[in-house]
Structure 1
Amino acid sequence: MILDIATEAMNQEQKKRLQEEKLRTLFQRVYEKSEFYREKMDKLKIDVEAKAVFDNLEKMPFTTDEDIKHCYPFGLLTMPVSGVAFFDYSLEEKIAAGFTLNDRMRRIEMICRSLVACDITMCSTLLIDSHGIGLDELNLMHQAAERIGITVLINHDKDLVNMMAVLRDFGVTTLYTSSERSKKFGAYLNENRQKCFLQSILCNASHCNDQEKSDLEKQFNIPVYRLYNVAEKLGLFIGNECVYQEGIHIHDDYFYVEVINQDGMALPYGESGELVVTTLSHEAMPILRYRTGKKAVMENSVCKCGRTSLKVQFFS
């Protein structure tokens, strides 16, 4: 199933025009409203008015984790703090991400798309287990699930016996939790020779690598789907797996992704390198060419599910 066919199955020509328009607006916004980016762009002698938007993008500065820490807490904002609806932050890591109300609504929309892509719909009952999941992530997942009519329960109890009782009593079909918590639950089921009638498990990919995903699928004998948040405290929920699990569908109307080599040059589809992410619609804290440090390869083909979005495969 596809939640938003007009967007998720958009043809490539339309998508390119949309991305071009959003990138042009983004360049102008950060140049006018971000001292951090303006200084970098001036140093590189970048003309934000240049017509060749995608060529201009390849000249734009990268943003690193060190930059984000250096700008903590307000240095990357493009508006007064009074215009920010919510901050996610880490005092320990010196990372802060601001979001307007529109930014938050877009994040919820993307999670809605992800849930439907994983065949979690209004016929499903979703248990969100709070252990190993951030409070903001929990709230966004809760709001997204409710928006598309999914029955939601939230578990704050550490006791796996009680969690099993909730799964059984309410006929839960999908569990959203961390891979570590899922492993502990699977071990509990094996030790007590109990069966669980879940149909799927959802995990944040930040806490579930390929091997952990494979192990969980063997342990539970059900699909494990991952939502990709490439920079956890920055709230970059860039994509998700679908039921065919042949790559990560990028929300490429909201994010522009590149794969670069060691010299920082953009690579074509099919070649592996470092994944770089640019936000296309963030209002409070737009980010140019964030270097994720993750090795990936891009694929530009229509998926069996019907989505035309760019797909990414990550490597360890």
Structure 2
Amino acid sequence: MELFPSIEKASVQEIKTFQEEKLKELLKYLESHSPFYQRLFKENNITISEIQTLEDLQKIPTTAKNDIQQNNDDFFCVPMTEIVDFSTTSGTLGDPVTFGLSDRDLERLAYNEAISFACAGIQKGDVVQMITTIDKRFMAGLAYFLGLRKMGASVVRMGPGIPELQWDSIFRYKPKYLITVPSFLLKMIDYAEKNNLDYRNSSVCGAICIGESLKNQDFTDNILSQKIKGKWNIQLYSTYASTEMSTAFTECEFQIGGHQHPELIITEILDDEGNPVKEGESGELTITTLGVEAIPLLRFKTGDIVKAHNEPCECGRNTMRLGPVIGRKQQMIKYKGTTLYPPAMSDILNDFNGISCYQIVIHSNEIGLDEIIIKLSTENNDENFISEVRDHFRAKLRVSPKIEIVDFDILSKIVFHPNSRKPITFIDSR
């Protein structure tokens, strides 16, 4: 198996032509097998033979998560007897959606992860410790395992949490890479320092980071990344994926955005009116999956606001790259005339060493305006510290949220809920 697919080194025009052929195959497949898209084509008088280019995609309406929530079964293109794995989306926004994968879909998923991990520098024979769940209907954990196995790496399936066990495993099996939520690395460092573990001389040289952003929009390290690297000199690689896409955008060694895999996904970045944004502008990532058998998606709006980068990368790939997610479209907050996204607020809170745990809560007040409450745990709960946090918000984001101090034992149980795959640092109760 080629871990650096030749299509990724092809010219931009060759990649486009290749994707247009794949798109035609997908449209024929949907017209034959997908009850949802058959209906969509019929209701909108779409003749698929007229869709010849990527630009022609504009003639087809977009699909959103609520379409799948309301018509979940109609998205299946194969009989249930051919589904070998059931996954659900993480339910960050609204009810989770059921995704079934056929045997071929699992093969595709493994291939996607293998070429993505190879992009970040993992090689055959490397030991990789997975600090992520592989159960609870979580597609990503299974994908990592299958991808590492496909590329010939060795896997230590540790699962999330428990720093003591993670370190025991690191010193025992000497992994070169970890797969983890980056904020957990701070917990591991804290545990190592309190217990005099020589973590700086461990076997670990890098971490593939999921679920949280590591970079600012200009690809400089954000506060979280700086905090980790300030203590532990390891490489941190960003990766972006979702259950719906079954495809990952992972950074190469030059770390200037996650590379697209042209064999697996077509991407569009659209403005609020559904038109492609101009070069260099941000918009909503809209994806079309290629090679998916059970639940292929056509022009699916992910809800993530991103920016594409098209200038050549020194690694030799000519593929489009995605910058860090700016925010979730449905989590956009209008606060006293300012537009905000939760990641910008998280960056500010990560700036403070004294904050051990936090949660951002948005709700509508009695006159229908968005209100922001920041709950945080800190050993330093005097008024000066709270004023300092508030001043930081004013300076960086020009807003002054309400701040509540909450006991760590209470708040940490809510943020690190056992049934959630990611820390619940944001609650939108509007």
Correspondence for 2:294 among 284, 292, 310: 284
Which 10-residue stretch deviates more, 305-314 or 209-218?
209-218
8 Å contact kept, 1:227–1:240: yes
Aligned to 2:126: 124
- For 2:160 and 2:70, the matched residues in 1 are separated by 38
1:223 to 216, 227, 235: 235
- Map of 2:313 onto structure 1: 303
1:88 and 1:51, CA in 2 relative to 1: closer, same or farther beyond 3 A?
Answer: closer
Is 1:85–2:87 an aligned residue pair?
no
Pairwise mapping of residues 60-71 of structure 1 onto structure 2 (< 5 A)? 60-71=60-71
Question: After superposition, where does 1:8-19 map in structure 2 within 5 Å?
Answer: 8-19=8-19
Q: Deviations over 1:226-284 (max 9, x none)?
A: 2211x33x353231111111011011221000111111001243221111111121111
Contact 1:257–1:277 (CA<8 Å) still a contact in 2?
Answer: yes
Find the residue that maps to 1:153 and give its secondary structure: strand
Shift of 1:27: 1.6
Structure 2 CA distance for partners of 1:61 and 1:218, relative to 1, 3 Å: farther
- Going from structure 1 to structure 2, the CA distance change for 1:209 and 1:62 (only over 3 Å counts) comes to farther
How far apart are 1:172 and its partner, in Å? 1.7
The structure, 1 or 2, with the larger RCO (C-alpha pairs under 8 Å, 6+ apart) is 1
Superposed, 1:224-243 pairs within 5 Å as: 224-229=236-241, 231-232=242-243, 234=244, 236-243=246-253
- Give the conservation status (yes or no) of the 8 Å contact 1:121–1:150: yes
Q: TM-score, normalised by structure 1?
A: 0.89
* Separation (CA, whole Å) in 1 of partners of 2:143 and 2:128: 14
Question: Could you tell me how far 1:224 is from its partner in structure 2?
Answer: 1.2
| 241-250 or 195-204, larger mean C-alpha shift | 195-204
The aligned counterpart of 1:170 is 173
Note the 1:1-316 alignment, pairs <5 A. 3-50=3-50, 52-72=52-72, 74-89=73-88, 93-130=95-132, 135-156=138-159, 158-196=161-199, 197=202, 198-204=204-210, 206-208=211-213, 210=215, 211=222, 212-229=224-241, 231-232=242-243, 234=244, 236-314=246-324, 315-316=326-327
Higher mean displacement: 84-93 or 287-296? 84-93
Task: Give the direction of change, closer, same or farther, for the CA distance of 1:21–1:219 in structure 2 (3 Å limit).
Answer: same
Instruction: State the shift of 1:156 in Å.
Output: 4.4
After superposition, the Cα gap between the structure-2 partners of 1:94 and 1:20, relative to the gap in structure 1 and judged at 3 Å, is same
SS in 2 for 1:267: coil
Q: Secondary structure at the match of 2:59?
A: coil
Q: Deviations over 1:77-119 (max 9, x none)?
A: 1222222222212697240112221111111111111111111
Confirm or deny: 8 A CA contact 2:130 2:156 kept in the other structure: yes
Deviation at 1:184, TM superposition (A): 1.4
Tell me which structure has the larger Cα radius of gyration.
2
In structure 1, stretches of 5+ residues that fail to align are: none
**Conserved? CA contact 1:256–1:278, under 8 Å:** yes
Looking at structure 2, the residues matched to 272 and 82 of structure 1 have their Cα atoms a distance apart, in angstroms, of 41
Asked if the contact 1:132/1:181 (under 8 Å) is kept, the reply is: no
Gap change, CA 1:157 and 1:294, over 3 Å in 2: closer
Greater shift in the superposed pair: 254-263 or 142-151? 142-151
Q: Would the aligned equivalents of 1:23 and 1:280 in 2 still touch at CA under 8 Å?
A: yes
Q: How many residues align?
A: 311
Calculate the aligned-residue CA RMSD, in Å: 2.4
